[in-house]
A and B are shown apart, each in its own frame.
Chain A
Amino acid sequence: KQEVTQIPAALSVPEGENLVLNCSFTDSAIYNLQWFRQDPGKGLTSLLLIQSSQREQTSGRLNASLDKSSGRSTLYIAASQPGDSATYLCAVAGTASKLTFGTGTRLQVTL
C-alpha cells in the first residue's frame, strides 16, 4: 500500500525567504506526482505535475523535482510571499488515476 509523507508538517518563514517542502513515498511504481495548494475553506489548486519520466517542473517561483527511484519529491518556493501561506499537499498517482495524498505542510509566510 502506497504511503506518502510530507516534512515538515508546518513551517513559518519571513517574507522573501526561499524554502523547500519535502514529500516521500514508499512505492516507486507511480505514474506521476502532483503538488497542490489548499487554502482554508477552499478546494485544491493544482500547482505542478511531474510525470514519472520527468525530473522536474517549473512554474513561476515554484520548482518541483522528482527522484522516483528514491521515492522523493521536493517543492521549492523562491522569494516567498504572504500570499503563499496555505497548506501544500503532494499526491502520487497509481493505477486508474487514483491519487494517494501526503499529510501536508502548513506554510505561514510572515511580513
Chain B
Amino acid sequence: SAVISQKPSRDICQRGTSLTIQCQVDSQVTMMFWYRQQPGQSLTLIATANQGSEATYESGFVIDKFPISRPNLTFSTLTVSNMSPEDSSIYLCSVPGPGHYEQYFGPGTRLTVT
C-alpha cells in the first residue's frame, strides 16, 4: 500500500487568505485525487491531479478557488484561495493502488477559517 503524508495537519486561517496543502506519496503514481469533507458530511471529490497536465475539476469546484499543482509523480499541492468560513473542512489526498483498484488516503488537513 502507498504511504501518504500531508502538510499541514491542521491550520486556523483568517477569512480572505489562502492556504496551500501539500501531499507527498512514497511511490510514483499517475493520478492523485483531492477530496473535501465538510463538517458532518461525507467526502466529495474536488479534482484529479495528473502529472504533466492540468487538473480536472468536478462540478462545483473551479481552478481559481482550488488551484492544484502536480510537479512530479510523488507530489501535489492544493491551494484553498480567498477563504471563507464555508471552506472549513478536512482536505484529503488519495492515490490509487496498483491496477487502480484500491485507494489509499492521506491523514488529511483540518482547516478552520475564522
Contact = CB atoms under 8 A, between A and B. Distances in A.
- A, B bound: yes
Interface of A: 31-32, 34, 36, 41-44, 46, 49, 51, 89, 91, 93, 96-104
A43 B103 contact: no
Q: Determine the main DSSP class of A at the interface with B.
A: strand
Contacts of B100: 97
Interface of B: 1, 4, 31, 33, 35, 41-45, 48, 92, 94, 96, 100-108, 110
Given A46-B1, A98-B33, 18 more contacts: A31-B101, A32-B101, A44-B92, A46-B103, A49-B102, A51-B101, A89-B42, A89-B43, A91-B43, A93-B101, A96-B31, A97-B31, A97-B96, A99-B94, A101-B43, A101-B44, A103-B41, A104-B42
A70 B93 CA distance: 31
A75 B45 CA distance: 23
Contact of B42 (A41, A93, A103): A103
Contacts of A99: 33, 35, 43, 45, 94, 103
Contacts of B92: 43-44
Contacts of B4: 43
Contact of B106 (A41, A43, A97, A98): A43
A100 B44 CA distance: 7
Contacts of A44: 43, 92, 94, 105
A91 B4 CA distance: 19
Q: Which of B4, B33, B92, B102 is packed against the most chain A CB atoms within 10 Å?
A: B102
A49 B106 CA distance: 18
A49 B48 contact: no
